[in-house]
Amino acid sequence: MASDIKEQEPSLRSDPQVPLVAPGHSFESISKKVIGVVLSVTPKGWMIGFAISFMMLQVLLVSITYLLYEGIGIWGVNVPVGWGFDIINFVWWIGIGHAGTLISAILLLFHQTWRTSINRFAEAMTLFAVACAGLYPLAHMGRPWFAYWLLPYPNTMQLWPQFRSPLEWDVFAVSTYFTVSLLFWYIGLVPDFGNIRDRAKSPWIRFIYGIFALGWRGGSMHWHRFETAYLILAGVSTPLVLSVHTIVSFDFAVSNLPGWHATIFPPYFVAGAIYSGFAMVINLAVPIRHFYGMKDFITDKHLDNMAKIMLATGSMVFYGYMVEAFMAYYSANPFERDLMMKNRVFGPYGGFYWALVFCNGFVPQLLWIKRVRSWEAALFIISLIVNVGMWLERFVILMSLQRDFLPSSWGQYSPTFWDLSTYFGTFGLFLSLMFLFCRLLPMIAIFEMKHMLPESHVHKGDDSGHDPGHAHAPKQGGGHQ
């Protein structure tokens, strides 16, 4: 069967209507291929990759430990740049997580079936990226053991958080985003946990996955409750895509600083978040489909659709850059025009501005070419460049702090070794969690993949153990295939 699928790949590439699942698959083959990754012997390549990621994670642990011992003075923050790599990386990691929620919730509500092969690891990417982002505000507090002061609870002194602070809004937005995304991700895993439990040979593996399966048996009532919960969480998650990064943009937009006090920031930030998020999804999808042999599930059609979304959101971001420049010029405000825009373009950090314009504005224009959108290596490199450009965008925005209204308070900013090591270490945390996810959990939603097969509609409503009125997948044993 595998050889038949490989022989059909060239025709799939040339066909403009590329199927979302390569021909030749059945309910059984989908289950075996996805679950086989989880239940198989750990490959050496995975162990090497995880070892490298884990060593990077140790850099983060050392950096955070030294930060708690010495204080945030080890970072490059100063006056007037009171925020440094901390807020840059916080906003960048939060943006990375946006594509997962959009793929999972919004595309589900709009019945976009091409999301099926990529939604599971995109949701995992969201959780891991938010975990990396959450480290920065806690570390920046200086005394993270008092982080609970940010929570609105009636303490003995009747002191409440400052609800007018946008940083307090971040606490509510990010914590809600993480909680809903975690529930949405876990609920989607329950049918597959039951599948793994039924196929595992080891009693310990059956026991562990059986706990997480929550007694799943694949009956009609189980499917009904599952779909109800899944749809409700999708509806709750949808406004979070817009609200979370909008609130993050308020960290800047509600200030009176030139270049920050702009109403374009919320849509500008949301488009940029989806842009960088889809770039990271491609950076994960290309290695997964290559090293795990998932090209018949994550097809060229998936890469093409993600590239088109990157092109659309990248055009929005590029338009935002032009609007910023036009607003500064048209306002005739010397602080906006000279202090902010001219300094951003021609000042000491001007090279970073032109680099972000190149990365986010010009490089993605290659995606207009269909051959580029179907070329794995080109998509991977373009996505890396986009993520670099989106990081540079946050850096350039933050450098507006370098020059405020008083020349006597102007200053420069440069990161220290500990800024760089902390940022480097967060990649270790992200990649370590992603390696564990790929090894221990099904990286592709099995029951949703089966819904893509013609057999799921042929068997709909028969008496062979399938859920009447539900075309996702048939049962097998205690669960389903």
| 198-220 pLDDT tens trace | 888 889 999 999 999 998 888 88
Q: What is the pLDDT of residue 39?
A: 84
Using alpha carbons, select from 106, 126, 235, 242 the residue that is nearest to residue 173.
242
Q: With 80 as the cut, is the pLDDT of residue 26 above it?
A: no
Which phi and psi angles does 475 have, rounded to 5°? -85, 160
| 386-431 pLDDT tens trace | 999 999 999 999 988 888 778 888 888 889 999 999 999 999 999 9
Helix (H) or strand (E) holding 186: helix 166-199
Q: With 90 as the cut, is the pLDDT of residue 240 above it?
A: no
- Supply the mean pLDDT for the chain: 84
Alpha carbon distance 257, 409 (integer Å):
14
Tokens of 163: 């609800």
User: Could you check whether the bond before residue 80 is cis, i.e. omega within 30 degrees of 0?
Assistant: yes
Q: What is the pLDDT of residue 5?
A: 41
Neighbours of 332 (CB within 10 A): 8
CB 437 within 8 A of CB 102: no
Neighbours of 295 (CB within 10 A): 17
| 444-477 pLDDT tens trace | 888 888 877 776 655 444 333 334 334 344 443 3
**Percent of the chain residues past pLDDT 90, beyond the cut:** 38
| 144-155 pLDDT tens trace | 888 888 888 777
| 326-364 pLDDT tens trace | 988 888 888 888 878 888 889 888 899 999 999 999 999
Q: What is the pLDDT of residue 17?
A: 55
Alpha carbon distance 424, 428 (integer Å):
7
Q: What is the pLDDT of residue 463?
A: 34
Q: Which amino acid is at 208?
A: I
Q: What is the pLDDT of residue 457?
A: 59
Using alpha carbons, select from 442, 472, 23, 467 the residue that is nearest to residue 200.
442
Neighbours of 371 (CB within 10 A): 8
Looking at residue 480, the DSSP 8-state letter turns out to be E
Beta bridge partners of 480: 475
Cα maximum dimension of the chain: 81
Q: What is the pLDDT of residue 458?
A: 52
Q: What is the pLDDT of residue 149?
A: 83
CB 294 within 8 A of CB 288: yes
Tokens of 450: 């089966």
Using alpha carbons, select from 121, 33, 105, 18 the residue that is nearest to residue 450.
33
| 242-288 pLDDT tens trace | 888 899 999 899 888 888 888 889 998 999 999 999 999 999 999 98
CB 214 within 8 A of CB 187: no
Tokens of 44: 């050496």
Using alpha carbons, select from 478, 349, 354 the residue that is nearest to residue 410.
349
Using alpha carbons, select from 17, 21, 4 the residue that is nearest to residue 449.
21
pTM of the complete model: 0.86
Which carries the bigger pLDDT value, residue 169 or residue 100? 169
Decide the pairing of beta strands 479-480 and 475-476: antiparallel
| 176-197 pLDDT tens trace | 999 999 999 999 999 999 989 9
Q: What is the pLDDT of residue 475?
A: 41
Give CA separation, 57 vs 52, 132, 238, in Å: 9, 11, 32
Q: With 90 as the cut, is the pLDDT of residue 110 above it?
A: no
- End-to-end CA distance of the chain, in Å? 18
Q: What is the pLDDT of residue 412?
A: 86
DSSP-derived 3-state class of residue 82: coil
